[in-house]
Structure 1
Amino acid sequence: MRFLFALTLTIIMTTSTVLAEDMTWIVEIDGDPDQIAEKIKRDYPFLEVLYTYDTLLQAVAIKGAQDDIKDLHQETWVNDYDRAQSYESPAIQNQSSSLPDDLPNYQVESTDATGEGIKVGVIDTGIDYTHPDLSAQYQGGFDVIDFDEDPMESTTKDGMPTNHGTHVAGIIAANGDMEGVAPNASIYGYRALGPGGVGTSAHVLAALEQAVKDDMNIINLSLGTNINSPDTPLSKAVNQAFDLGHLIVVASGNSGPEDWTVSTPATAQKAITVGAGYTDQSQATIEVFDGKSIPVRQMPQSGPWPIEERFPYQYKMETNGTTNLQGKILMANKKDKSYTKLITEAIKTEAEALMIVTNEDPNDWTATPTTMPVIVITQEEADRLRKHETWIETSTQPIEDGIAEFSARGPVTSDWTIKPDLLAPGVNVMSTIPGGYANFQGTSMAAPYVTGVLALLKQNQPNATPEELKQQLLSHATPFNQDSRPSEAGSGWLDVQSLFDSTYYIESNKLQFGYHQADQPSKTQSITVHNTGEEPLDISWNIPKRHEHINWELPLSETIPAHSEKTFPIQAHFHKKFKKKGVHEGYLSLELDSESVNLPYLIVGQAADYPRINAEIAVEPFAEDEAMLTYYVADSLKALSIDVYDASFNHVQTITKQPDVSSGKHEEKVDISQWSSGLYYVMVQANDGEQTFDQSIEFHRP
């Protein structure tokens, strides 16, 4: 049995760096980027100008050794600079070209649109445009890795092969044995991640600029970092691309289920950020003789767990993958191995599936896409299984519609935006890969579904602006149940039938009240209801669920004439004790011609558990005896202290101790000339006047 070991888009963040390594920086500038690039080439001969950006940002991407960059930041034309974030993914192995028995058809039945005439850009690992289901729809693109017009997925001759972009493209517009959501849309590939899925935010930004210059109607980015902040070069570029007339769809990320985990560029306010949900699914459990079943916690983007057959299992992996386990399930201890390494070794055994035993949180995984079924169990569960069973037997029970455990949650720190914007199918999604098809899951699969739906909507409304189409999309998403939260579901599950049948949409349907100041007795947000139909539209408001600390003042019932619009203010009155609470969120509902519509709202109280400060430190490229500490402050602080301790927790240095720190990005240069090589701990302590918050960062002095 052969398995496909697929691509994962995982940001690799490090607090140390090697001085001899070349690094890439995105430098935002004043002036013409091409002229600045020529100046850099002339005055800094050992620096390489990788890209110039003149559409979404005024910036250049440069690469070079630290010593060669040391004077660049002193130039008067430098506004800001950010280290390019690095992406890395495992290789694809043992690719299968077998045809599944039942290939999907994702076309939307409630519209005749097929995406005809709509240009969709896929910024990813490239596209296998020779795939028979994609060849007719593929129309071109660009490769920012090799800097040519051939954005083919990496193959074995390039190094580690990839397949993620081909899977994404198939969901959008496959047109063959499998049919995507918009099978007649024109697909353009922008390869921003090379062999093994390796690239940087500089590559992604270059691809986004090129897609905008090529006038893509819709651009899909199924990738991200682990930074929950709206203030990064890529997030700013996404917002600018939207303002220039391009719909931008971004996967929220696979770092859920904790709050505040949605990451840039999905944090960009104007991005359509998509989380992963599921419907018509079932919960699989492993039966144990003691009567206590074990839940099947399937790793995101792995193959479906075998549920129709009983298989024997073998515990541990003594041979590092050299034993043939065909017809058996492998149970292996994680210990100090990475998920990627365990899966790589398991694939070599040709086992039917892999059970990873861990003492860590069994839901705290790193997504490593593969067609091999992979689940995670606890040590206690493994001990019970080994005591009572020699075979693995799985049963299934239907489960309610819901949000995927791995789907990253919001909201966004600093600007308190509700993210994700909505949910779409992201669990067990079949699509194209080089040489065949594979079943993946992840928010990477949910985003292209929404991209395909937008292609249909754009075909029907060619003159509609991105903002109008975005608001229509969000107006026709519905929370799964009363327990859904906007910070995990946004407006809810996309209802495509309602979207194409409807004669209304709501502008500013997300009620983002932001951060509540103690002296604010009330806040007001407004929505505008657009009646696009031929008949008057009756509007009435449902009485909201009683809230202990908020009184709602809602509009009166009204009728909107055909082809007109009406703006309604919605006011929240806060009790005095409100500030002591955390994040307040939920849904207000109204009736539009007896159709119930939900409006997500979110208010952040002073006691909310958002990350007050997010810090990182790295050796400064401008001088080897300096490090740069960068920290993002979500809201103003009354006090901040940052201290350094050695590996034995002896105090080494106080970096800063200051009162009244403003929100936003801050940087501190740290003199490390007296530090010996080794491990240090940077301890951050922040106080907002009521609570104290701590963060610890490991730092390795080269």
Structure 2
Amino acid sequence: MKKRLFHASILSIILVFILSTISVGAAPQANKVSTPQAQTPPELAEIFGNLDTTSSKVTSVIVELEEESVVEAKHKGKKQSKANLAKTRDKVKKDVKDAAKSSKVKREYDHVFSGFSMELKSNEIPSLLAVPGVKAVYPNVTYTVTGSDGVTIEEDAYHPEMLDSAPFIGANEAWESGYTGEGITVAVIDTGADYTHPDLAHAFGDYKGYDFVDDDNDPQETPKGDPRGEETTHGTHVSGTVAANGQIKGVAPEATLLAYRVLGPGGSGTTEDVVAGIERAVQDGADVMNLSLGNSLNNPDWATSIALDWAMAEGVVAVTSNGNAGPDNWTVGSPGTSRDAISVGATQLPYNVYTSEITTTGGVAYETDKVMGFTSDEELLALDGNEYEYVYAGLGTVEDFEGKDVEGKIALIKRGAIPFVDKASNAKAAGATGAIIFNSAPDEFEYEIPGMAVPTFKMSGTDGQKMLDELEKGNNTVAFDLEFDREIGETIADFSSRGPVLDTWMIKPDVSAPGVNIVSTVPTHNEENPHGYASKQGTSMASPHVAGAAALLLDAHSDWGVDDVKAALMNTAVNLYDKSGESYPHNTQGAGSIRPVDAINAETLVTPGSHSFGVFSKENGKQVEKQHFTIKNLSDKHKKYNFDVEFEGNPEAIKVKTSKNLKIKANKSQKVNFKVQVDASKLEPGYHEGTIVVSDGESELEVPTILFVKEPDYPRIDGGVTVTETENGYDLEVYLPGGAEEAGIWVYKTDMTHVGDGPVYTDLPKYYNTLSWDGKINGENLAPGNYYFFVYAVKNGQLDYTNSDVITVE
């Protein structure tokens, strides 16, 4: 079967361009010889992401210009003006219109990003790439919030001290020292904010920010019952964590807030509005910006990341959430992949662990049952000693709960298709009192996820089937026996996305902060009862803790730049340990959990706060890479620094050479050079992490570092499968970070019954690929029903797979 593939290589675009410029039916002239020079195509712009140049459908893209933005030019020592940019941009827009007749410009950018967003037919993109002045074209990808819908909390249940996370990281100690964020402006780029909320009204002036969804000056949240779509509360919750000062207190309770609504109904938006929000926040004078949003792609080269990096260069501390696709490595998504912005992972505050014994009608026991997660001890313990009906709810999707009466009952759910937290949230929405999730395989699974929407238990696939068998016999009651076991310290949330970042191989997150069961403000849109509160979880909830901490640091140190703030937060972060007492990897926790007071009081700063030495793949001999970092002595006395670098296991094949000691005068800084020598032939392929310890004789700080040997174990396929129905079957679009030697299609029913396999594809290029399939298994069309389409990819012996949403075949 012929397959259609698309990827972002210059060669493929050149071929498309050449073919599109050849006149059909033209005959060659006699005695005329074409020279290679005559066939040379013009230099083309680079293209990124999911752009199908063969389709006539209208798509939306972000165009980056070669002409530098105001901020980029400034930091390169060049003169640039908005007027000059407008003149250049207008010329490019005219040429684009001539080349792509269907094109329509939407938003224009000039401050931290140079270019514009536009709509055009996909098959006109090759012509767009040949327009002089166009540097790159990016997809206008969708961004969504990175936090849960949450659980509503009654107003009278909360007072300032009950926002546990701010005191836990020591924010109250900063307040006692006089640092509250006063005079610091924090931009919340999100779903908007309820600036009328009594706990937030103090933080907003006459100018509230801007709404890029509706294009007006009112960045209020989408209210319930809005005909345009689902209500939002996310941006208000984030704003409260930064600067609430009322029934609850945020991390920087006297900071000023600006809200930029870039995500509309349901918490969804696109690159063009996110970039516009970043630009406006910088121009409006924000000192800090928070972006608790993201997409699933682990790639640093997007328009949003470029805008964030230049915002940081302009002196605005940019903080982003790392994503909620953990606990596997390589799950960080953009803009958490940004080179310069501070990416934040989520932690769970110390919590209690309980053992459980589940029995069904007649005292039937289950050996593998365990507590998986719960919102509060009280809610969990309410189940103790009581008996409930239980109902099988399939995979726990919204559709699976339709038509089932689970009000006040326990939902029995099979693992698969959607995240565990979504299963619990769907159970709660359907009225269930609790949930039991059993594995899709016979054995147990390890995940614990504190903060689940309802008390949730887990068990092996064998025990789950045993419960189903009991249910079919009519034994439909379940009882719980719960006992306190132990307390767990601050840990990384299982859902928190992990690094490293593809291509740059950077450690992400940079730091971690509380992100589970975070109580903050939400809108009520009710003047008679304006106090709205909810408990939410996600890296969306962790990020504003860091944005608030950044405001405290800038309040304490008005002369600090963005690098100082980032370094202080990273250098003073606390190492975190899992339940077995093992330190989390760097790509899981970053530098550790933030402690703002220690950051404020830091006497030494090391920048950057983490290092990646990249990939070492030399087959024979030693490969050497040079690096450097800068040490800033903030104290009022000379200091002598010593360095110690250790990689895990102390392998002889990794050697780091740096200064033995270094003297730095008071309030001065100095660059430290070092070399890394690796003999890859003597090391196991994969990820190797180490730590640079910097000591002044009285105290020491740690700088996380990593390197890779041979081919890194990044996922061979990233994100989900986007399915488009065509006249000839289906187009399945997938993202292959490094290409694939082989890829194929698996088809399953929604109950995870294997239906059959589609075609196999070979030698697929990097980035996006579109796999065309006639929709047949063994020559037969799929029967009407609901299915999941899986795509697997293999490279260098590693196989990974991902799945689509539910596909209905009629």
TM-score (norm 2): 0.71
Partner of 1:390: 479
Distance 1:60 1:625, change over 3 A: farther
The correspondence for 1:498, drawn from 583, 595, 598, is: 598
Partner of 1:325: 407
The correspondence for 2:371, drawn from 296, 320, 329, is: 296
Partner of 2:710: 606
The correspondence for 1:84, drawn from 131, 136, 140, is: 140
Partner of 2:211: 143
Contact kept? 1:352, 1:373, Cα under 8 Å: yes
Distance 1:434 1:627, change over 3 A: same
Q: Name the % identity.
A: 27
Distance 1:557 1:683, change over 3 A: closer
Asked if 1:418 is matched to 2:499, the reply is: no
Higher-helix-fraction structure: 2
Contact kept? 2:150, 2:537, Cα under 8 Å: no
What SS is found at the alignment partner of 2:700? strand
Partner of 1:104: 163
Distance 1:536 1:161, change over 3 A: same
| In structure 2, C-alpha distance between the alignment counterparts of 1:650 and 1:308, rounded to whole Å | 48
| In structure 1, C-alpha distance between the alignment counterparts of 2:95 and 2:444, rounded to whole Å | 53
Contact kept? 2:570, 2:591, Cα under 8 Å: yes
Asked if 1:312 is matched to 2:387, the reply is: yes
Partner of 1:10: none
The correspondence for 2:586, drawn from 464, 486, 497, is: 486
| In structure 2, C-alpha distance between the alignment counterparts of 1:547 and 1:571, rounded to whole Å | 16
What SS is found at the alignment partner of 2:381? coil
Distance 1:606 1:45, change over 3 A: closer
Contact kept? 1:34, 1:52, Cα under 8 Å: no
The correspondence for 1:261, drawn from 331, 339, 361, is: 331
What SS is found at the alignment partner of 1:51? strand
Contact kept? 1:321, 1:349, Cα under 8 Å: no
Deviations 1:50-108 (A, max 9, x none): 31222232222223665787865564454432322224679969966543245326233
Distance 1:571 1:209, change over 3 A: same
Q: Which amino acid aligns with 1:162?
A: T
Deviations 1:482-506 (A, max 9, x none): 6332111221122323212222211
Asked if 1:123 is matched to 2:189, the reply is: yes
What SS is found at the alignment partner of 2:666? coil
The correspondence for 1:530, drawn from 611, 617, 632, is: 632
The correspondence for 1:565, drawn from 654, 669, 690, is: 669
What SS is found at the alignment partner of 1:456? helix
Asked if 1:350 is matched to 2:416, the reply is: no
Distance 1:668 1:441, change over 3 A: closer
Distance 1:369 1:553, change over 3 A: same
Give the number of equivalent residue pairs. Answer: 672
Q: Which amino acid aligns with 1:325?
A: E
TM-score (norm 1): 0.81
| In structure 2, C-alpha distance between the alignment counterparts of 1:35 and 1:330, rounded to whole Å | 61
The CA deviation at 1:173 is 0.3
Structure 2 residue runs of 5 or longer lacking an equivalent are 1-48, 68-87, 360-364, 394-400, 525-531, 748-755, 783-787
Q: Which amino acid aligns with 1:99?
A: D
The CA deviation at 1:331 is 3.5
| In structure 2, C-alpha distance between the alignment counterparts of 1:378 and 1:559, rounded to whole Å | 59
Asked if 1:509 is matched to 2:609, the reply is: yes
The CA deviation at 1:329 is 4.0
Deviations 1:168-202 (A, max 9, x none): 11110001111111011111111111111122222
| In structure 2, C-alpha distance between the alignment counterparts of 1:305 and 1:261, rounded to whole Å | 33
Distance 1:359 1:77, change over 3 A: same
Deviates more, 1:202-211 or 1:259-268: 202-211
| In structure 1, C-alpha distance between the alignment counterparts of 2:730 and 2:427, rounded to whole Å | 43
What SS is found at the alignment partner of 1:354? strand
Q: Which amino acid aligns with 1:141?
A: G
| In structure 2, C-alpha distance between the alignment counterparts of 1:364 and 1:201, rounded to whole Å | 36
| In structure 1, C-alpha distance between the alignment counterparts of 2:260 and 2:515, rounded to whole Å | 22
Contact kept? 2:152, 2:534, Cα under 8 Å: no
Deviations 1:466-517 (A, max 9, x none): 1122112211113225633211122112232321222221122323211113
Contact kept? 2:53, 2:123, Cα under 8 Å: no
Deviates more, 1:67-76 or 1:154-163: 67-76
| In structure 1, C-alpha distance between the alignment counterparts of 2:535 and 2:115, rounded to whole Å | 39
| In structure 2, C-alpha distance between the alignment counterparts of 1:422 and 1:62, rounded to whole Å | 36
Distance 1:82 1:363, change over 3 A: farther
| In structure 1, C-alpha distance between the alignment counterparts of 2:327 and 2:98, rounded to whole Å | 50
Distance 1:61 1:297, change over 3 A: farther
Q: Which amino acid aligns with 2:64?
A: E
| In structure 1, C-alpha distance between the alignment counterparts of 2:264 and 2:445, rounded to whole Å | 29
Q: Which amino acid aligns with 1:50?
A: K
Structure 1 residue runs of 5 or longer lacking an equivalent are 1-12
Contact kept? 2:435, 2:454, Cα under 8 Å: yes
The correspondence for 2:572, drawn from 470, 473, 476, is: 476
The correspondence for 1:547, drawn from 650, 658, 663, is: 650
Distance 1:348 1:429, change over 3 A: closer
Asked if 1:434 is matched to 2:516, the reply is: no
